Amino acid sequence: MTRREEILSTVSRVVAIPCCATKAAAMLCDPDADMAELALIIEHDPGLTANLLKIVNASFFGGGKPMLTAREAIRRLGTLQVLQFIISTGVAPSFVHRIDGYDLAPSMHLQHSVAVAMAARELGRVLGLDAPEHTFTAGLLSGIGKILLGTYVKINAKPILALAMEQGLSFDQAEDAVLGINHAELGGILLQSWGLPLDITEVVCHHLRPDESPEPGVVLDLVHIGNALAKMIGVGLGVDGLNYVPSAAVIQRLGLTAEIVDRVSANVVVELRTVWSLFLECAEDACPV
């Protein structure tokens, strides 16, 4: 068995995100999704209901009468934000632990993932793009492969780092050379095994190297740059940022300028400060004791 085959064999042993989160992800890509069904799912999950009401009643959503039910919360937030919330809380508990292979302290991986999602969404807004609604979700899930690959990276840290330094490779390219797979590809395979839509899994798989994707598109471009911006502002930065260079083709396609990059980065920092403590609290509440 090759190292790649060994790593892929671990995918089947990973506990999937809650069923409701998978359904939410599918709904996010389905314009004909039944939001009444989503409300029913939330209402029958005590943990989801509690965290949803905590978020919707938070001060940054404004005053007014407190929301007391999941259906009221959905009306307040809107279906898109509710879907993003469900997927976020579904995966967040797995993101708050330390990932030694990538030198990520507890919650750093979650913070980086949230920053990527925010940056991708904000970049689309600033550029005036009609970005699909699942842009945020794809950004949020883009680094999930690190959770699985971290153990193997830790064991093989010296040869991976040596190869990256000696040959000027990005960390994910060095992962490929030593392990036969990188964390982005593994993340896409994992999410595909959970039944998430191709629109999301392909972006996760290729977000580090969009030029190699057979399915290029605006979501992939936004998440790719969103990941680069999160690294640039130092949010949850680990060793995987070594020698990382964004795609020149994507930069040209999006028409990025230094002014746009600075504006988006500043907006993300402000947004992250606003929601981070509440988001982390919800993630920790969802973690098993």
What is d(CA 233, CA 97) in angstroms, rounded to the nearest whole number? 22
The conformational region for residue 181 under phi > 0 = left, psi -120 to 50 = alpha, else beta, is beta
Beta-bridge partner residues of 99 = 104
DSSP string, 126-184: HTT----TTHHHHHHHTTTHHHHHHHHHHHTHHHHHHHHHHHT--HHHHHHHHHSS-HH
Q: What does the CA dihedral 184, 190, 192, 196 come to, rounded to 10 degrees?
A: -100
Residue 289 burial by Cβ neighbours in a 10 Å radius (0-12, 13-18, 19+):
exposed
Domains of the chain, each with CATH number or no CATH: 3-15+96-286 (1.10.3210.10)
Q: Tokens 């070594």 sit at which residue?
A: 242
Query: What's the longest Cα–Cα distance across the chain?
Result: 60
- pLDDT tens for the chain, 289 residues long, are 888 998 898 887 765 666 666 666 666 666 676 667 767 666 666 566 666 776 777 655 555 676 667 777 777 776 666 766 766 666 656 655 666 666 666 577 778 888 898 999 999 999 999 888 788 888 988 988 888 888 788 888 888 888 888 998 988 999 899 999 999 999 999 888 877 778 889 999 999 999 999 988 999 999 999 999 998 888 767 677 667 899 999 999 999 999 999 999 999 998 887 766 655 555 555 443 3
CB proximity list for 113: less than 8 A, separation 6 or greater: 95, 139, 140, 141, 142, 143, 144, 236
